[in-house]
Chains A and B, each alone.
Chain A
Amino acid sequence: MENMLQILPQVLVDGLTLGFMYAVVALGYTMVYGILEFINFSHGEIFMVGAFIGTEVLLIMDALGGLQGLNPFIALLMALVISMIITGMLGVGIERVAYRPLRNSPRLVPLISAIGVSFLLQDVVRFAEALHRDAFYLTGPILFPGKLDIGIAQIPTKALIVIVTAIVLMIVLSFFINKTKWGIAMRAVAQDQSTASLMTINVDKVIMLTFLIGSSLGGATGVLFAQNYGTIDPYIGFILGMKAFTAAVLGGIGNVRGAMVGGVLLGVIESLSGAYLGPLTNGAFGGEYKDVIAFSILILVLLFKPEGLFGEAVKEKV
C-alpha cells in the first residue's frame, strides 16, 4: 500500500503526459467531425508523419553539428514548426485529393478512403526510412534528458515539455476558435454550412483551414511523442489515433473542450490502471489490462450519456 502511494505522483505524471497528447490529437478528430461529420481515420498517421519529420529535423541538425550549443528550446521549436507546416499542408492535400471529391458520397466511402490514406502514409514513411536509414524505426536526439525534483517525485523534464507545449497549443486554438473571425466562421460552418455560405463564407476554405489546423496539431503531438518516448516507427499512429479518437468520443465528438478533457481523462485512467490493476487484484489482472479498463469506462459513459461528457444531446432540427 505504501509502495502504491509512493509511485502515485509518477503514475499521474505519466498519465498526464499521455493524456495531453491524446487531447491534442483528439482535437484534430473532433474539429473535422464537427464540420463534416466524418471520422478522419488517417489523422493518427498524420501524427506519425509529424513524429518522423520532427525527429528527422533534429537528426539532420545534429548531423550538421547544429545541435551542439543550441538552446534545446529553440531546437524543439524548430522541429515543431517545420513538422506542423508540413503535416498541416499534408492534411490539406489529403482533404483535397481523397475526401473532397467524395463529400456527397455515402458516409462509408470517404471512411474507406481515409483508411486507404492511413496505409499509404505508413508505407510511404516505412519505405522512405528504410531507403534512407536502412531501418524503419527511428531514434532521435532527446533534447531534455534531465529530471526535475519536486520533493515527492522526480518529473522527467521531457514530460513537462510535452504537457506545457500541449497546453500552449490548446490555449492558442481556443483563442482562435472563440475570438477570431475565421474561428467563429468555423463554428458557424459546423452548425449550418448552407446558411454560412449566405454570409459570404467560403465553406471549402473553412474546411481546408480545419484540416490545416487539426493536422498541424497532430504533427506537433508527433514531435512531442518522439521526444518523450525516444524511438518511433511508422505504426505508432494507429494505437495513439484510436485512443485519441476514443478520447474525442468520450468528451463528446465535435466538441473542442470535450476532446481536451476526454484526452487527459483517458490518459490518466490508462496510467492508473496500468500501475494499480496488478497490485489491487493481487495479480489476477495485470497492467496489460489497462486498455480494457479505459474502454470499459468509455462504454459506461456512453451508455448513460451517449453524446459524451460535453456533447449536446442530438435534437431533431426543426
Chain B
Amino acid sequence: MALLELSNIHTYYGGIHALKGLTIKVEAGEVVTLIGSNGAGKSTTLKSICGQVKAKEGKVHFNGADITGKKPHDIAALGIAHVPEGRRIFSKLTVRENLEMGAFSVSDKRLVEEGIERAFHYFPRLKERISQKGGTMSGGEQQMLAIARGLMMKPKILMLDEPSMGLAPILVEQIFEIVKELNENGMTILLVEQNANQALSVAHRGYVIQTGQIILQDEAATLLQDPQVREAYLA
C-alpha cells in the first residue's frame, strides 16, 4: 500500500460538487505533483486529506490506516504537514514562535531546537529574522517560513499548496530547489501547483486535475511532453 491513498473522494461545499471521485496515491520517497487551473479542486484535495473539509464519499488512507473523517489536529499528528495556500503564517507571532508552533507535537525541547537549526539550514534567511513578527516579512520570506514551519513536526509527508504563488522568478527557482533537496534527503512530497513546468521538472509523477476530476496521470517527464498538458498548462 502506498503511503498516501485517496480513493474515489467526493467533496462538496454546500451544493458545489468540488471533487468528483478523485483517486490518487503517493508512495514513500516520491515527489508527486497535482496540477490544474484555478478552481480545479487542488486545494480541496489537500483539505480533504488533512481533514479541513470532510469527504462525503470515498476513503483516505495514510500509512496503512483509514484517516477519513478524523479531526485535522489528529491527522496532522500522524505526520502529515500541510503548508496551506497563501502561507497562512501567524502574522503576530515571531518567526521563532511560528516555528515552535510547527513543532507543537514535539515535546522534547532539544528536538525542537534541532528542528529550528534544520530550518536554518534550508532557509538561512530565517535566522536573521528569528525575532521578527511573521507578518512583517516579505512574501518570499513568509513562504520560506511556512515551509520551514511545516517541516518542524518531522512529517512523513509534506503537502505544499502552490508554494510559488506570487513570488519573483528567482525565488520560485529557490523554492523548487529546496523541494528537490528535501526529497533527496528522504522527504515524501505532494506538490500542488499551477506552475506546471517547474512542478513537473522536480516531480517523479504528476496528476492533472480539472473540475474535480483527474483527467491525466503519468510520469512527470511524460506529462511534460504531453500535447494536451503543453497546450493547457505550459503555454
Chain A interface residues toward B at CB < 8 A: 181, 184-185, 187-188, 191-192, 194-203, 318
Contact = CB atoms under 8 A, between A and B. Distances in A.
16 contacts: A181-B100, A184-B97, A187-B92, A188-B97, A188-B101, A191-B90, A191-B91, A195-B88, A197-B52, A197-B73, A197-B76, A199-B105, A199-B149, A200-B104, A201-B73, A201-B104
A187 B90 contact: yes
Given A199-B76, A201-B104, 18 more contacts: A184-B93, A187-B93, A188-B93, A188-B101, A191-B91, A191-B92, A194-B52, A194-B72, A196-B90, A197-B52, A197-B73, A198-B72, A198-B81, A198-B82, A198-B84, A199-B153, A200-B73, A318-B86
A200 B105 contact: yes
A-B pairs with lowest CB-CB distance, top 8? A197-B72, A200-B105, A195-B88, A200-B76, A200-B77, A199-B104, A197-B73, A202-B73
Given A198-B50, A198-B84, A203 B73 contact: yes
Contacts of A202: 71, 73
Contacts of A181: 100, 104
Contacts of B88: 192, 195
Contacts of A185: 101, 104
B36 interface: no
A191 B76 contact: no
A188 B104 CA distance: 11
Contacts of A318: 86
A301 B197 CA distance: 54
Which bracket fits the contact residues of B?
20 to 34
Nearest to A182: B104
B86 A199 contact: no
Contacts of B77: 200
Contacts of B212: none
Nearest to B94: A184
A200 B153 contact: yes
Nearest to B153: A200
B115 interface: no
Nearest to B106: A200
A188 B100 CA distance: 11
A187 B94 CA distance: 11
A65 to B, nearest CB: 47
Contacts of A200: 73, 76-77, 104-105, 153
A195 B77 CA distance: 14
Contacts of A184: 93, 97, 100-101
Contact of B93 (A191, A194, A198, A201): A191
A196 B92 CA distance: 13
A198 B90 contact: no
Interface centre among A192, A197, A198, A318 (most CB of B within 10 A): A198
Interface in B119-136: none
A211 B72 CA distance: 22
A191 B87 CA distance: 13
Contact of B101 (A194, A199, A203): A199
Nearest to A197: B72
Contact of B71 (A187, A191, A197): A197
A193 to B, nearest CB: 10
B101 to A, nearest CB: 5
B102 interface: yes
Contacts of B153: 199-200
Contact of A195 (B71, B90, B97): B90
A201 B77 CA distance: 9
A188 B82 CA distance: 16
Interface centre among A184, A196, A199 (most CB of B within 10 A): A199
Nearest to B87: A195
A192 B196 CA distance: 30
Contacts of A188: 90, 93, 97, 101
A187 B90 CA distance: 9
A114 to B, nearest CB: 26
Interface string B56-82: 000000000000000111001100011
Interface string B33-52: 00000000000000000101
Contacts of B86: 318
Nearest to A195: B88
A198 B92 contact: no
Nearest to B96: A184
Contacts of A199: 76, 101-102, 104-105, 149, 153
Contact of B90 (A192, A194, A197, A203): A192
A76 B82 CA distance: 49
B36 to A, nearest CB: 22
Nearest to B146: A195
Contacts of B104: 181, 185, 199-201
Nearest to B79: A200
Contacts of A195: 84, 88, 90
Interface centre among A181, A187, A195 (most CB of B within 10 A): A195
A175 to B, nearest CB: 15
